[in-house]
C-alpha cells in the first residue's frame, strides 16, 4: 500500500511519497535512525509535487486554515491533482500522512482520501522538515529561513489581534493593578505614619485616614512653625475646623523630636508620592468602571464593578465566566477551601468572590448560603447576556438586581417574589418599545425624503398621464370616425335591400299556403 506525506512549509505545500515501507515495517525507531542521514532518508522519501504560496498574505491564510483544521480550495486542488484518484465503491490503495488529525478528518470527509496521523508519520515529517531545503532544488540558501521568520511574525501578530474574548483583558489587568495599588498605598501610608510620628506623634490620633494624613503631613512640614494662620489651609484639607484647631494645639504641645530640614524634605517627598498613588488609584477605578459598563454592563449593574471584574479575572475571560455554571461561579475564589473540604470530608464553602457583594452581608446567617446560590444564578445569567448579546444595555442587570432584592425580602418577610420568566418578558418588551420610539424620528426624516421623492414622482406621473390622455383622445376620434363610416354604409345597404326583402316575404307566405292546401287534400 503506497503512502504519501503532506508537509506544510512556510513557502508552500509539499507532497512526498514514501518508498520501502515493507523494509521499514513502519518502525518508528528505524525511521529515527535514518532521519539524520540524508542518503538513507532520501531513498525512503522522495518529492512528488510542490505548490508554492503566491504571497505572504496567501501563506498566512493557508497556515491559519491548517491550524484550524480546514482544507482550503488550493490544498484540495493540489491533492486531487497529484494523488491517485479515489474510485467510488473501491478501497483506495494509498494513504496520506498528516501532522494535524483535524485537517485529516476534514480531507477525508471532503475527498474520501484516507488520512493517518501517528508517531511514524510525525517522524517522517520531522525528517522532511530537517532536509526540506535539499528536496526543493530551486530554493536559495537563506530563503527558507526568511520565509519562516516572516510567516512566524505575521501569524503571531494575527493571533494576538484576534481575541475572542473582546477587550476584557483590560479589565483583568486593571483589577490586578488596583489590588496591587491598594496593598502598596496601605503599606506606604503606614510608613509615612511611622516616619512622621517621630516628629509629630499626636497627629496619628487626630487624622485617621491615610490619604489625609499624608496630605496634612506635607502641609505642616515642621510642627514648630504651626500658627493660627494655618487654620484655613488645614480646614480645607480636613474639612473640619475643630480638627484643624486641634492639630495646631497638639503641635504646640507635641512630645516629638525635631527633624533636620533634609529629613523633612524626604518625608514630604514620600508623602507626595503616596498622594500621587492615591490619586492614580481613583483614576484607575474610574477607568475600570467605564470599562465594565462597556464589557459587562449587566454584571456590573447586578453585583458591582469591583466584584464583577474580580469574577472575570478569576475565570480568565468573560467567555469563560459565561461558560461556567452557577454552582461553579458561586465558589469561584474558594478553590482551596473546596478541595480541603473534599479531602477532609467536611462542609464545602458556600461562597467565594461573591461574598464581597452587599447582598450576602445583608442576609441573615441562616440565609447566606441560599442568597449566595440565588445570586450566583443571576450572575451566570447576566454574564451570558453580556457575552453573547449584540447590544450593550443595563436593563437586564437592573431587573436581576431587583429580583435579588425581592428574594431577600422573601427570606425576611415572606413576600412572594416575581417569576424570572415574567421579569425577562417585561425587560424584552421595554427594550422593544424603546427601539420603536427610537425609530420614530428616523421615520420622520425618511418621510421627508419620501415626500420630496413623491413630489418628483407626481410630476413625472402628471406628465405621463397627459401623454396618455392625448393618446386616448386620438384613439377616441379614430373610433368615432370609423363608427360614423360604418353607420353610413349600413344605411345605404338597408335602402337598397328594402324592395327585394318584400318580394322574399311574399314568396314565403305563398309557400306556406301551398303546404297547407296539400295537407288538407291528403
Q: Within this chain, do residues 139 and 12 fall inside the same structural domain, yes or no?
A: yes
Residue 465's pLDDT is: 56
Q: Within this chain, do residues 67 and 104 fall inside the same structural domain, yes or no?
A: yes
Q: Within this chain, do residues 305 and 428 fall inside the same structural domain, yes or no?
A: yes
Q: Within this chain, do residues 107 and 7 fall inside the same structural domain, yes or no?
A: yes
CATH code of the domain covering residue 32: 3.30.420.220
Q: Is residue 467 part of a domain?
A: no
Q: Is residue 451 part of a domain?
A: no
Residue 187's pLDDT is: 94
Say if CB 367 and CB 416 are below 8 A apart: no
DSSP 367: G
Q: Within this chain, do residues 333 and 363 fall inside the same structural domain, yes or no?
A: yes
DSSP 414: -
Q: Within this chain, do residues 116 and 243 fall inside the same structural domain, yes or no?
A: no
387 burial level (CB within 10 Å; 0-12, 13-18, 19+): buried
347 burial level (CB within 10 Å; 0-12, 13-18, 19+): exposed
Residue 188's pLDDT is: 94
Q: Is residue 99 part of a domain?
A: yes
Residue 164's pLDDT is: 46
Query: Which one of 253, 286, 319 terminates a domain?
Result: 286
Q: How far apart are CA 125 and CA 131, in angstroms?
A: 10
Q: Within this chain, do residues 37 and 7 fall inside the same structural domain, yes or no?
A: yes
H/E segment holding residue 346: none
Domain of residue 341, residue span: 296-435
228 burial level (CB within 10 Å; 0-12, 13-18, 19+): exposed
Say if CB 113 and CB 83 are below 8 A apart: yes
Q: Within this chain, do residues 347 and 252 fall inside the same structural domain, yes or no?
A: no
- Number of domains, the chain: 3
Interstrand relation of 94-97 and 115-116 (parallel, antiparallel or unpaired): parallel
Say if CB 51 and CB 74 are below 8 A apart: yes
CB atoms within 10 A of CB 435: 10
For residue 184, report the phi and psi dihedrals to the nearest 5 degrees.
-65, -45
Query: Which one of 286, 308, 338 terminates a domain?
Result: 286
CATH code of the domain covering residue 183: 1.10.287.4070
SS3 content of the chain, % helix, strand, coil (to 5): 75, 5, 20
Q: How far apart are CA 66 and CA 285, in angstroms?
A: 43
Residue 519's pLDDT is: 42
CB atoms within 10 A of CB 448: 10
Query: Which one of 128, 160, 192 terminates a domain?
Result: 160
pLDDT less than 70: residues of the chain: 20-28, 158-166, 439-475, 477, 479, 482-483, 485, 487-522
Q: Is residue 214 part of a domain?
A: yes
Q: Is residue 508 part of a domain?
A: no
Q: Is residue 482 part of a domain?
A: no
Q: Within this chain, do residues 313 and 337 fall inside the same structural domain, yes or no?
A: yes
CB atoms within 10 A of CB 468: 10
Say if CB 98 and CB 121 are below 8 A apart: yes
Half-sphere exposure of 68 (CA within 13 A, CB side): 11
Q: Is residue 454 part of a domain?
A: no
Residue 282's pLDDT is: 94
Q: Is residue 74 part of a domain?
A: yes
Q: How far apart are CA 192 and CA 144, in angstroms?
A: 60
CATH code of the domain covering residue 345: 1.10.246.90
Instruction: Name the CA radius of gyration of the chain, rounded.
Output: 46
DSSP 15: E
Amino acid at each position: 500500500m503506497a503512502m504519501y506525506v503532506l508537509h506544510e512549509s512556510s513557502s508552500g505545500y509539499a507532497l512526498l511519497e514514501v518508498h520501502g515501507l515493507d523494509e521499514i515495517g513502519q518502525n518508528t525507531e528505524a525511521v529515527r535512525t535514518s532521519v539524520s542521514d540524508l542518503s538513507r532518508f532520501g531513498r525512503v522519501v522522495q518529492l512528488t509535487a510542490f505548490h508554492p504560496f503566491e504571497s505572504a498574505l496567501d501563506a498566512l491564510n493557508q497556515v491559519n486554515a491548517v491550524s484550524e483544521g480546514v482544507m482550503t480550495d488550493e490544498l484540495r486542488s493540489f491533492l486531487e491533482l497529484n494523488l491517485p484518484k479515489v474510485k467510488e465503491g473501491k478501497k483506495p490503495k494509498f494513504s496520506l500522512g498528516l501532522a494535524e488529525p483535524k485537517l485529516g478528518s476534514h480531507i477525508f470527509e471532503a475527498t474520501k482520501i484516507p488520512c493517518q496521523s501517528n508517531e511514524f508519520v510525525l517522524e517522517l515529517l520531522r525528517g522532511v522538515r530537517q532536509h526540506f531545503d535539499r528536496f526543493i532544488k530551486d530554493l536559495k540558501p537563506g530563503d527558507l529561513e526568511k520565509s519562516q521568520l516572516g510567516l512566524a511574525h505575521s501569524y503571531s501578530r494575527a493571533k494576538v489581534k484576534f481575541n475572542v474574548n473582546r477587550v476584557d483583558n483590560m479589565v483583568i489587568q486593571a483589577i490586578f493593578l488596583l489590588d496591587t495599588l491598594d496593598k502598596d498605598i496601605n503599606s506606604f501610608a503606614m510608613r509615612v505614619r511611622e516616619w512622621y510620628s517621630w516628629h509629630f506623634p499626636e497627629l496619628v490620633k487626630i487624622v485617621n485616614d491615610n490619604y489625609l494624613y499624608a496630605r496634612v503631613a506635607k502641609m505642616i512640614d515642621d510642627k514648630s512653625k504651626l500658627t493660627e494662620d494655618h487654620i484655613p489651609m488645614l480646614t480645607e484639607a480636613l474639612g473640619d475646623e475643630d480638627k484643624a484647631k486641634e492639630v495646631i494645639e497638639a503641635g504646640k504641645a507635641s512630645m516629638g523630636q525635631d527633624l533636620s530640614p533634609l529629613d523633612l524634605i524626604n518625608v514630604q517627598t514620600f508623602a507626595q508620592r503616596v498622594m500621587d498613588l492615591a490619586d492614580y488609584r481613583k483614576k484607575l477605578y474610574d477607568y475600570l468602571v467605564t470599562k465594565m459598563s462597556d464589557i459587562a454592563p449587566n454584571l456590573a449593574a447586578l453585583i458591582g464593578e469591583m466584584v464583577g471584574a474580580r469574577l472575570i479575572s478569576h475565570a480568565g475571560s468573560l467567555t469563560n465566566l459565561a461558560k461556567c455554571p452557577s454552582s461553579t461561579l458561586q465558589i469561584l475564589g474558594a478553590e482551596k477551601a473546596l478541595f480541603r473540604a473534599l479531602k477532609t470530608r467536611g462542609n464545602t464553602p458556600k461562597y467565594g468572590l461573591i461574598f464581597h457583594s452587599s447582598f450576602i452581608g445583608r442576609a441573615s446567617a441562616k440565609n447566606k448560603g441560599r442568597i449566595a446560590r440565588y445570586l450566583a444564578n443571576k450572575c451566570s445569567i447576566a454574564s451570558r447576556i453580556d457575552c453573547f448579546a449584540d447590544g450593550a444595555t443595563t436593563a437586564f442587570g437592573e431587573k436581576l438586581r431587583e429580583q435579588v432584592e425581592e428574594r431577600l425580602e422573601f427570606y425576611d418577610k415572606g413576600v412572594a417574589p416575581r417569576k424570572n420568566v415574567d421579569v425577562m418578558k417585561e425587560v424584552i418588551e421595554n427594550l422593544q418599545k424603546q427601539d420603536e420610539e427610537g425609530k420614530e424620528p428616523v421615520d420622520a426624516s425618511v418621510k421627508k425624503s419620501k415626500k420630496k421623492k413623491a413630489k418628483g414622482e407626481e410630476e413625472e406621473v402628471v406628465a405621463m398621464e397627459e401623454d396618455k390622455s392625448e393618446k386616448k383622445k386620438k384613439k377616441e376620434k379614430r373610433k368615432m370616425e370609423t363608427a360614423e363610416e360604418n353607420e353610413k354604409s349600413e344605411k345605404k345597404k338597408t335602402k337598397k335591400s328594402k324592395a327585394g326583402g318584400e318580394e322574399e316575404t311574399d314568396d314565403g307566405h305563398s309557400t306556406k299556403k301551398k303546404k297547407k292546401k296539400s295537407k288538407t287534400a291528403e
